[in-house]
Amino acid sequence: MNRRALLLAILGFGGSLQAMPGQSTRPPMVHGGAPAVSPDGSKVAFLSERGGATDLFIIAADGSGEARLTSTPEVESQPEWSADGSEIRFTVFANDESRIFSIAPTGKNLKLIGTVPGRATRLSPDGKSVLYWTGTWTAMRLFASRLDGSAARQVTDGSGVVWGARWSPDGKRIAFGDKDAQGSLQVFVMNADGSGRRRVTRFDEAGQQAQMPAWSSDGSRLAVQSGSRGQPAHIWIVDAVTGAARKLAAHTEPYDDEVPAWFPDGKRLAYQSSRTGRMEVWVMNADGSETRQLTK
């Protein structure tokens, strides 16, 4: 699975599309990607294809103690932590449904906790509800349901896309990527019932694509990735109310910084980057300083 395929897997496609909006076609090996930081900030779960298939790994925030948690022929995706840090949840998509699993950070107690008829699952902060989408990649319908797929309610009408939908920390809002009137991918926020939709990013430079939003723990900021086709992708910090944005670790070299994840203190970010020639997990301060490679 290369970088493009990993991003498609994060969205629930399993690498079946020819391109992601705004992504280049450079395919470095995914040695570490899609980071998810534990609630206490001490560990980072991530995906890697180093064993052939895409599996779930864990590493301490200082780069020590790396361990492989799964070893299957299936494509694991969507890693995220339970609120108390006792479990990591991940998804396996096949046959138009997502199976949601949990596993302890030690690699023990693997269990199936839910199944829903859609892609790209994200559990609510209380762990009782799940977001997923159905439809085509240009006309996605976002749903929320219980973990067993019951009590499903449609959140969006299917007239656009919902790249990387994520619950806010209080579960009252959802951030996601969608195309604006000019066809550029931007990040939007809406209430959890689908009302109050508003555009947050305004990256109006030709070809810019803002996506993969991640909420800070206090819900005041969003970390997003943005880049234009064939140009390097960057991580940005965006005020969730005003839309004021700041680019982090600006560069012109042909590598991509993508898929941000906050540390709980709001002072650091984990992200995936191809700056070494293959995809690895990196960490940097929330002002873009002190970039550090985590997986090697």
Residue 203, pLDDT score: 85
State phi, psi for 7 to the nearest 5 degrees: -65, -40
Nearest residue to 47 (alpha-carbon basis) of 72, 25, 27: 72
Q: What is the pLDDT of residues 235-261, one digit of tens each?
A: 999 999 999 999 999 999 999 999 999
User: What is the band of 12 on the pLDDT scale with cuts at 50, 70, 90?
Assistant: low
* Rounded distance between C-alpha atoms, residue 176 and residue 238, angstroms: 13
In SS3 terms, the chain reads as: CEHHHHHHHHCCCCCCCCCCCCCCCCCCEECCEEEEECCCCCEEEEEECCCCCCEEEEEECCCCCCEECCCCCCCEEEEEECCCCCCEEEEEEECCEEEEEEECCCCCCCEEEEEECCEEEEECCCCCEEEEEEEECCEEEEEEEECCCCCCEECCCCCECCEEEEECCCCCEEEEEEECCCCCEEEEEEECCCCCCEECCCCCCCCCEEEEEEECCCCCEEEEEEECCCCCCEEEEEECCCCCEEEECCCCCCCCEEEEEECCCCCEEEEEECCCCCEEEEEEECCCCCCEECCC
* 174-200 mean pLDDT: 93
Residue 19, pLDDT score: 36
- Residue 118 region, left (φ>0) first, then alpha (ψ -120 to 50), else beta? beta
Residue 138, pLDDT score: 84
* Rounded distance between C-alpha atoms, residue 153 and residue 142, angstroms: 9
- Residue 194 region, left (φ>0) first, then alpha (ψ -120 to 50), else beta? left
Is the pLDDT score of 122 beyond 90?
yes
* Rounded distance between C-alpha atoms, residue 295 and residue 169, angstroms: 27
Cβ–Cβ < 8 Å for 63, 36: no
Is the pLDDT score of 212 beyond 50?
yes
In SS3 terms, 231-256 reads as: CCCEEEEEECCCCCEEEECCCCCCCC
* Rounded distance between C-alpha atoms, residue 115 and residue 149, angstroms: 6
* Rounded distance between C-alpha atoms, residue 153 and residue 101, angstroms: 22
User: What is the band of 94 on the pLDDT scale with cuts at 50, 70, 90?
Assistant: very high
pTM: 0.92
User: What is the band of 2 on the pLDDT scale with cuts at 50, 70, 90?
Assistant: low
More confident residue, 153 or 138: 153
More confident residue, 289 or 19: 289
How many Cβ atoms are within 10 Å of 229's Cβ, its own excluded?
A: 15
Cβ–Cβ < 8 Å for 261, 214: yes
What fold does the segment set 3-21+28-293 form as a domain?
Neuraminidase (2.120.10)
Domain extents in the chain: 3-21+28-293
* 94-100 mean pLDDT: 95
* 41-51 mean pLDDT: 95
Q: Which amino acid is at 276?
A: T
State phi, psi for 275 to the nearest 5 degrees: -65, -20
